Amino acid sequence: MEGRKHRDVGKSTSSRLAYDILLFRISGDNLAVHSSIFQPLSIAHLVPCPLCSTSYEPQVRRQDLRGRALGHLSEGPPTSLSDFLSPRNLKSSSWANPSGKYNIAIILSAEWMIPVTLYRLCQHMNETEILDGINVQGRTVRLDRRDQIFALKAVTFLRGDARSEMLEFLCTPFEIYNTPQISGCRNGAICSFSRLQMHAIADGWRRTDRGHHMPFTIWTSDDFDDFGKKVKIVCSMCLAAMKKAHMRALQQLWDQLPGFCGLSGWTDLRQKKLEAVNPIKAKMLASL
């Protein structure tokens, strides 16, 4: 799918400076997860910030302020699959108001934040919330029309084809005429039948468990541990092959996310993040 065209707003010197100052204060939102001493403003206050004006400050100080603010905000959306799948990230409570975070990423042109913020938006918001917005401390935060359309397309893809494809490792390859398709399979039809049973069970989770309605969480490592509790256990060869196939599916979807958003790959996005958050380090690495 062709990615959406990201808007570019708030470019005047005064409005961007005011925005960056408030952004730095609000960027503590991600740090507050680790310590209660951070008391950031509500993220809802970001919406009118680009329209603000303020006095001038030295450019160097502004760049430093912006870099630190972006650094704080960038602690939220991971840029690697391993970080995304970490228990700390999957269980994080810092994803309230995902549409607000997505708006921030768009306004700041923080491209490295967009794929995961879009995914989280699709995870935590239903279609009505995407269209009508959500209430955050008395203020309605919503996407613009283009982002609404793009988010609805993303919901259809992530909760549909992407989620279904993530479970393909459970039913392919399968046994045909008593010939095990996984090399070294010890149980033949028993393993194949168990995997097909598990596929049917997992496919039903999306209708009964909201935590399983997205592709990256429809099946986790814990589900491999519980496999034998739900159906007959498969042999060690099939289990190893399934784990490898599942990891390939995870990596394939992860690699697709930037392109789905109309962005370059993760390597380039991580470089852009480094240049924005720590330009001095980026220049040093570039000179090596």
Domain layout of the chain by residue ranges:
13-158, 164-254
pLDDT at 66: 60
Nearest to 24 by CA among 65, 57, 62, 63: 65
Q: Which of 7-21, 141-155, 204-218 has the highest mean pLDDT?
A: 141-155
In this prediction, residue 27 has a pLDDT band, given cuts at 50, 70 and 90, of: low
pLDDT at 103: 80
Q: Which of 50-59, 167-176, 209-218, 270-279 has the highest mean pLDDT?
A: 270-279
Cis, bond preceding 258 (omega within 30 deg of 0): no
pLDDT at 67: 60
pLDDT at 61: 46
In this prediction, residue 58 has a pLDDT band, given cuts at 50, 70 and 90, of: very low
pLDDT at 99: 79
Residue that wins the pLDDT comparison between 27 and 154: 154
In this prediction, residue 46 has a pLDDT band, given cuts at 50, 70 and 90, of: very low
The two three-digit tokens of residue 19, written as one number: 């925005």
Q: Which of 106-115, 143-152, 179-188, 226-235 is the least confident region? A: 179-188
Q: Indicate the average pLDDT of the chain.
A: 73
Over 50: is that where the pLDDT of 13 sits?
no
Residue 169's contacts (CB-CB under 8 Å, 6 or more residues apart) are 242, 245, 246, 248, 249
Q: What pTM did the predictor assign?
A: 0.74
Q: What integer is the mean pLDDT of 165-170? A: 90
pLDDT digits (tens, 9 = 90+) for 212-267: 688 998 988 888 887 777 777 788 888 888 899 999 999 999 999 999 999 999 99
Q: Is 72 exposed, middle or buried (0-12, 13-18, 19+ CB in 10 A)?
A: buried
Both ends of the chain: CA-CA distance in Å? 37
CB 264 within 8 A of CB 215: no
pLDDT at 265: 96
Q: CB under 8 Å, gap of 24 or more: what pairs does 90-97 form? A: 90/217, 92/33, 93/33, 94/29, 94/30, 94/32, 94/33, 95/120, 95/123, 95/124, 96/43, 96/136, 97/43, 97/44, 97/134, 97/136, 97/141
Over 50: is that where the pLDDT of 47 sits?
no
Q: Is 94 exposed, middle or buried (0-12, 13-18, 19+ CB in 10 A)?
A: middle
Q: Other CB atoms closer than 10 Å to residue 83's CB: what's the count?
A: 12
Where in the chain does DSSP place strands (E)? 134-136, 139-141
Over 60: is that where the pLDDT of 28 sits?
no
pLDDT at 56: 40
Residues composing the chain: 288
CB 66 within 8 A of CB 23: yes
CB 47 within 8 A of CB 9: no
Q: Which of 16-25, 42-51, 126-135 is the least confident region? A: 42-51
The two three-digit tokens of residue 58, written as one number: 């030295």
Q: Which of 20-29, 46-55, 83-92, 150-159 has the highest mean pLDDT?
A: 150-159
